Structure 1
Amino acid sequence: MPREDLPQIGLGTYSDDNREQWRNNVRTALDVGFRHIDTAQVYENEEYVGEGIRQSSVARDDVWLSTKTVHHDVPSDAEQVPAAIDGCLDRLGVDTVDLLYVHWPSGVYDHEAVLPAYDDAYEAGKTRNVGLSNFTSNLLDEAMDVLDAPLYAHQAEMHPLLPQRDLVAHAQKHDYTFVAYSPLAKGEVFDVPEIVDVAEKHDATPAQVSLAWILSHDNVAAIPKASSREHMTQNLTALDLNLDEEDITLIDSIERRHRVIDADHGPWNWEDDTLLG
């Protein structure tokens, strides 16, 4: 199970346009029961995410808020990382976040130059927890050796077409949470025969089955993106869907492997089959 306090299903908030929508989307998500909201500096929507939380009837203390900085295009210099962290807080309109991620181990990222700024933010109470995103197992080990703060979470793409077995095993071994983004593979899981069969068996949607499969793994949470109340509610009720061993075995047997997020700015070859889970 995920570590204490981090809700198993959260709301992913990335979009490449209409960023203002996340003001209403976040407010709607909190209204239907979400308590985990995920954003990032590079999403350019932190301002609207923060407004959505403040406009909600849910108390800030009841919302797990995560953001990320240090991407391949922000900030432009490792010395600017503390200011970038402060910028995230300012745009969100908060004094602290529950989880602050290093977004990509690329661009200005150097473990010895960047991670001390995250330790400083942790010590100063600007974040309650420190996370990493889109790291390989080797880079996770390297970062854990440098960080003084405990690693709370690692976020990366995961879905039935990209099971990330090595990264999930790493999270379980070191007792932190793996947070799965793009858990529905941008809708590609909806037409996978094995997932459709399980969905029909349980009178559920393929989205709910995919999320339930992800959450069947120890130490794993998911942050599906949704903009309608209906889809948000469906995603959240995946928590109540219990897949049996036969279901999980069938989904695990899917041979197709596909990554939906372009990661050509990473320091490794994402097309390498060894990194496809």
Structure 2
Amino acid sequence: MPLDKTDITPTELQSALANCRQYWLNYGYERNEDEGVTLYRSGVPHPQLNGVMRVAGDDILRKVDYARQVLKDLPSVWWLGPDSHREAIQTVTAMGGLIRGKVPVMVARPSDLASDPLPAGISIEVIEDDRELLTWVECFAPSMGVSEGSLAQLQRVEMERLDKQGEYTRFAAKLNGMIVGTSALFASHGVAGIYVCTTDVAYRCNGIGAALTRHAALEGWKKGLKLASLQASKMGEPVYRRLGFRTVAEYDLVMF
């Protein structure tokens, strides 16, 4: 996929990648950020909740083998992007990892995002109550491929994230008091990272996802974060592009 021209600096790109690493690390009860290997392990048998965010430095074979041993009893996803060694993907696939595709890293200046009115009847609210948090997780779980049988585990690890005070803010789009969409702002490394942006399947194609994305980015801007970043799914990429996000890098996703 050709990358768009943008005014993002190399330092800002590294900050966006670091934001993504930290977001997923905060799901991990076991974390390792030493010797060029960044991994997390929640213990929940779902690939997105256990994984490797970076393999860098020298002696890549040893580092990949180490990470495989830590995660060998769980499904995992390896995010191999510009912050990983160029030979990492060949090493990981040689050990049996399966390439599942590429995920674009997209960025925007929050002040430049397209502005549209909220969809009729929709309000966007911060989720702070634990009971509402459970419903919030239930809304985005299908987009992660989390089965009903694993929902309680996902809800538990979401409640037990390792975020610092004020680092993570959850938003819900509500219609008549019912949660119909989600997004989250992860403020880290000077970047407004946007995550779990999804809309209940019954309410899609009404502008809710775009509104949630913009809202999270602008809340980051209010915190002084001048760059918003996200990793786009195939379904979400056209929405983010219309808002003003541009692709600046890609992750290869490899799963075990």
Query: Smaller-chain TM-score range?
Result: 0.3 to 0.5
Identify, as 1 or 2, the structure richer in strand. 2
Task: Report the TM-score, using the length of structure 1 for normalisation.
Answer: 0.33
Higher relative contact order (CA 8 A, sep 6+): 2
